[in-house]
Homo-oligomer: A and B are copies of this chain.
Amino acid sequence: MSIITIVGAGMMGSAMCFPASDNGHQIRLVGTPYDREVIQRIQQDNFHPRLGMPLPPNVTAWQYEDMDEALKDCNLLIAGVASFGVDWFAENVLSRIPDDLKVLSITKGLEDEPDGSLVPISVAYNRYKLAPGRKLSICSIGGPCISMELCKRLHTSVALCGDDSDVLHWIKSQLITTYYHIQPTRDVVGIECAVAMKNAYAVGVSLAIGLAQRNGEELSNPQAALFGQSVREMLRLVHLFGGQTESVIYATSDLYVTINSGRNRKLGEALGQGMTLQQVLDKYPGMTLESIPIITKAARALRKRHELGTANFNKFPLLRHLDEIINQGAEVRIPWNEFG
């Protein structure tokens, strides 16, 4: 039995309590400053108000002021913050842990570098966000997982990526259950790039939903064409950065569920209907849209590479159009003839 500390009491961080608890571990769920009321409520009667259900038995909830206590003697730290919280996590959590503590990140995101590289969150922690010279063992998880369904213990299949096979297999052994299927892989850049990019492309495919609503049409063929182009561009991007085709499969099935619901679907749909980004943001105040920085950074990286001659941005017409819509106020006008 291990002690697993999860930081971030949002949907996905909290959902990780279920497979972890079913493995008999002791779980400490620590809130960020945004989770104060959630943690209070769990401390009161074990009910998680965002999930709308009680947490499993061996979970305790902690406010972030008690972080040191919650990290004490723990065997695995799970980073359950959103991509907007990674700097906070590095400063307030990673700074306090011993170098040999294993870390599992469930945050999706990318950072772009001046030479047009795209760096996954787990790499970015080690490259920029820790004290110089410090190196942590950070794995991450990606794949199609609606958190509420994981809480209900429905079959869920994800990839677990990291540099060290032994660490991967140990983390897998801590979390695998009869319903939570975990496939270890060392293709960090492939998994993390692809599952971050699927947030961007979920907006792209959902444009077809909004366009169809605007025109009173059906949408299967256009949506499928956008889906295919999304997979094509994710593959190209992952191959460009040395990742593997297999990893894109997780992003493809993740894209498939993401389009059915969620915030990125809502954004794409609204843009397809003809709303501007600002109108969408005004309509849903406070909605965090991880797709926006991902589209922006990926497009910036590819544009940079195009200038440097290390990539052809024209092979990413859907991403380029998403960037034009999000960052240049362009109207939705799918570049069908550039697809392929």
| Beta-carbon nearest neighbor of A337 in chain B | B181
Instruction: Report yes or no: B154 in contact with A217, Cβ–Cβ below 8 A.
Output: yes
Q: A303 interface residue, CB < 8 Å from B?
A: no
> Taking the nearest CB of chain B, how far is it from the CB of A196, in angstroms?
17
Q: A340 interface residue, CB < 8 Å from B?
A: yes
- Which residue of A143, A220, A221 has the most chain B CB atoms within 10 A of its CB atom? A221
> Taking the nearest CB of chain B, how far is it from the CB of A269, in angstroms?
17
The distance in angstroms between the C-alpha atoms of A35 and B275, with both chains bound, is: 46
The distance in angstroms between the C-alpha atoms of A313 and B152, with both chains bound, is: 33
Instruction: Report yes or no: A224 in contact with B183, Cβ–Cβ below 8 A.
Output: no
A199-232 interface code vs B (CB 8 A; 1 in, 0 out): 0000000000000000001111111110111011
> Taking the nearest CB of chain B, how far is it from the CB of A10, in angstroms?
18
The distance in angstroms between the C-alpha atoms of A184 and B290, with both chains bound, is: 36
Q: A256 interface residue, CB < 8 Å from B?
A: yes
Give which listed residue, B143, B183, B221, B252, contacts A145 with CB less than 8 A: B221
Instruction: Report yes or no: B221 in contact with A250, Cβ–Cβ below 8 A.
Output: no
Give which listed residue, B222, B223, B249, contacts A231 with CB less than 8 A: B249
Give which listed residue, B152, B157, B217, B334, contacts A228 with CB less than 8 A: B157
Q: A332 interface residue, CB < 8 Å from B?
A: no
Residues of A within 8 A of B (CB): 143-146, 148-150, 152, 154-157, 181, 183, 217-225, 227-229, 231-232, 235, 245-246, 249-250, 252-254, 256-257, 260-261, 334, 336-337, 339-340
Task: Beyond the given A155-B222, A155-B336, please list 6 additional residue pairs across the A-B interface where CB-CB is below 8 A.
Answer: A144-B224, A157-B228, A157-B339, A181-B340, A183-B339, A228-B252
26 residue pairs from A and B, CB less than 8 Å apart: A144-B220, A144-B225, A146-B218, A154-B217, A154-B221, A155-B221, A155-B222, A155-B225, A155-B336, A156-B222, A157-B225, A157-B228, A157-B229, A157-B336, A181-B337, A181-B339, A181-B340, A224-B254, A225-B253, A227-B252, A228-B249, A231-B252, A231-B253, A232-B249, A235-B245, A245-B245
